Amino acid sequence: MNIPMAVECKAINKRHSHFQLQDVDLSIEQGTVMGLVGPNGAGKSTILRIIMGLQKPDSGSLKVLGHSMPDDQIAAKRRIGFVAEDMRLYESETIGFHMDFIKSIFDTWDQDYAATLLRRFDLIKDQKIKGLSHGQRVKATLMLALARRPQLLVFDEPTTGLDPAVRKEVLDEMMNSLQDETRSILFSSHNTLDIEQISDYITFIYDGRIIESKDKESFLDSWRRLRLVNIDNKPLPDLPNIKQIQQSGRLCAVTVNDYDDSTADQFTKAGLTVENIEHLTLEEIFICNVQYAKELKNSRINS
Amino acid sequence: MTHSIIPQLVKKDFLIWRKMIAVFCLMSLLAIAGLSLVYGHIPHFVFMNVGFTILIIPVAACGVALLIQTNVFEKEKSTQVFIMSLPITVREFTLAKLLVNLPIFGALWVGTAGVAFYFTFGLGLLPIGAVPFITMIFVGIFAGYSCILCVSLISQSLGKTIFAIMFFEAATSASLWIIAYLDPIRNYIYGPSIVWNSTALTIVGFQVLIIVSVIAATILIQNKKRDFI
C-alpha cells in the first residue's frame, strides 16, 4: 500500500555564508509526529523554513502535502500551521484581532475549537499581545495555528523558554490535535524530553547533515551502553558502531549504535567481560551523537 | 481555495495603523485650517513658503512613519514570520505592502496638492503660468516617496531606509531647484498662461517613469529573493 506522505525532501542542499545543509532526505508519513533534534546551529530551523517555502533550496526537491515547494506554497500553506519560537504577533492588537484576521483567511477556521483552546490556555480574547507573558504568547500562537485545523503542523522550537507547566499544556494540545489521524506534526527542539514524549519518528541533525532518521522505538533500541571489565587491558574490538568510550581503570563504558546481540559477543570474544548492558535516554543519545559528530568533523578537518 | 489574501493583509495593516493615519490626517486638516486663518494677515511670499512647508509635513511624516512601521518593523519585530506562515508568496507580501502604503500616502498627497493648488492659484499667490512647475514639485515628491518606499521594502532595514529618506529628500529638492532654473521652465513660471512645453512634459514624464519603474523593479527584485526570513 502506498502510504501518503506529509513531507518528502530529497537531496536538499542550501548554502549560507557560514553554514550548509547537505543532501537532506526527510520523509514524514501522514498521521505521524516527527521530532527533529540537534544542537543549536545544526540546521533544524533552516530545514523547517525550506519546508514552509520561506527559503529556497539551492538544489533538491521538496513536496509538502503533495504540493511542490516553494512553487506551490500558497496551496500548501493553506493546509499547514506553523509556529516558530521567533514568531511574534502584533503587540498593539488583541488576541481577538488575530483570531478575526486568521478566520478571514482560512475557510477551515473552527471558532468553537478556538474558544475551547482559549479556555484551556487561560487566554482572554480581549487581551493585548504586549501584556502577555512569553508562555501566553506561545499558547496564543499555537491556538491560532491549531484552530485553522491544518493537515500538517510545523513547530520550530515551540517549547523553548516555557516553564514546565506551560510546556506540558503546549505538548498536550499538540498531541490532542493528532486525534485526526491524517494530521501530521513536524517539530524541532533541543529539548530531548519533548521529542521523546510525543514523537513517532526521530531525525537527528548535526552540522547541516542528517545523522539518523528512524522510528522512535528503533532509534532508542539501537543505542546501548555496555559496562565492561577489562582486567588485562586488552584492546577493544574495532567496531564501526562504537560511538563513545569512557575508560576508568579496569572499567570501561562503551556506547554503541546499531546494537544487536552479536555486539556484546564481539567484546566477549576480545577477552572483555560484559557486566551490564543499558538502554540510553534520548538525552544521552543526543549528547553522545553530538560529541561523536564533532570528533568526526574535527578529524576530517585535521586530515 | 486559491483566492489571494492580499485584501486581508491590506485591511490588517490599515486596521493596525488606523489611529496613526487618523492623527496625520488631523494634522493636515489643522494645517489647512491654520493657513486659512492667517491668510491675508501675512505677506503672500511668506504665506506661500510657510504654507507649503506646513502642508507637506504631515503628508511626508505619515508616508515615512507608515512605511517604517509596515515594512521595516514587520521584519525587525518578527511579525513577518507570522505573516509569511500564511498562504502567501513574497510577491503577494510585496503587493500588499505597496497597496497599503501607496493609496494612503497617495490620498493625503492628492488632498494636499489640491489645497496647495487652491491656495497658490485660487487665491492668486502665483500667476497661472506656474502650474507646470507646481505640478513637477508634487509629482517629484511622489517620485521621491516611491523610491524611499521601495528601498524600505527591499531592504527592510531601518538604517538603509533612513539613508534613503535623507538621500531622496535631498535629491528631490536639488532636482527641483535645477528644474526651476531651466530656461524652458523659468521663462513661463510668472507667465499669464499655462505652457506645457516639451521640457515640462519630459520632466513630468520622467518623474512618472521613476514612480512606475521603481515599483515594478521592487516587485521583480522581491520575486527573485531566495530567502525571505
Three cell numbers at A55? 527559503
The reply to whether A125 and A237 lie within a common domain is: no
The reply to whether A18 and A93 lie within a common domain is: yes
| Mean pLDDT value across chain B | 94
Domain boundary among A196, A214, A232: A214
Beta strands A224-229; A251-256: pairing state = antiparallel
Q: How far is CA A165 from CA A161, A168, A172, A299, B38, in A?
A: 12, 5, 11, 42, 65
pLDDT class of B133 with cuts at 50, 70, 90: very high
**Res B153 pLDDT > 80:** yes
* ipTM here: 0.90
Q: How far is B103 from chain A (nearest CA, A)?
A: 21
Predicted local confidence at residue B11, as pLDDT: 97
- Those residues of chain A that have pLDDT short of 70 are 1
pLDDT class of B143 with cuts at 50, 70, 90: very high
Q: The CATH number of the domain where A241 resides is what? A: 3.30.70
Predicted local confidence at residue B40, as pLDDT: 85
Predicted local confidence at residue B140, as pLDDT: 96
Domain boundary among A214, A247, A280: A214
The reply to whether A167 and A42 lie within a common domain is: yes
| CB nearest B85 (choices: A56, A82, A97) | A82
| CB nearest B78 (choices: A78, A81, A87) | A87
pLDDT, tens digit, 9 for 90 and up, residues B76-86:
999 999 999 99
Interface check for B76 against chain A (CB to CB < 8 A): the answer is: no
Beta bridge partners of B73: none
Contact A104 B8 (CB under 8 A): yes
Domain boundary among A198, A214, A230: A214
pLDDT, tens digit, 9 for 90 and up, residues B46-96:
898 899 999 999 999 999 999 999 999 999 999 999 999 999 999 999 999
- Mean pLDDT over B185-213 rounds to 95
Enter the pTM of the model. 0.89
**What DSSP string describes A211-257?**
EEEEEHHHHHHT-EEEEEE-TT-PPPP--TTEEEEEEETTEEEEEES
Q: Residue A105's closest CA among B81, B84, B94, B156? A: B84
Predicted local confidence at residue A198, as pLDDT: 87
pLDDT, tens digit, 9 for 90 and up, residues A226-242:
998 888 788 888 888 88
Three cell numbers at B23? 492623527
Among chain B residues, the shortest Cα distance to A100 is held by: B12
Cα separation of A188 and B32, whole Å?
Answer: 57
At A96, the amino acid letter reads G
Q: The CATH number of the domain where A208 resides is what? A: 3.40.50.300
Cα separation of B142 and B60, whole Å?
Answer: 10
Q: How far is CA B204 from CA A176, B141, B198, B218, in A?
A: 62, 12, 10, 21
* Domain count along chain A: 2
The reply to whether A174 and A52 lie within a common domain is: yes
Contact B226 A55 (CB under 8 A): yes
| Domain range enclosing A61 | 5-214
What's the 3-state SS for B23-86? HHHHHHHHHHHHHHHHCCCCCHHHHHHHHHHHHHHHHHHHHHHHHHHHHHHHHHCCHHHHHHCC
> Is-contact A103 A111, C-beta < 8 A?
yes
pLDDT class of B19 with cuts at 50, 70, 90: very high
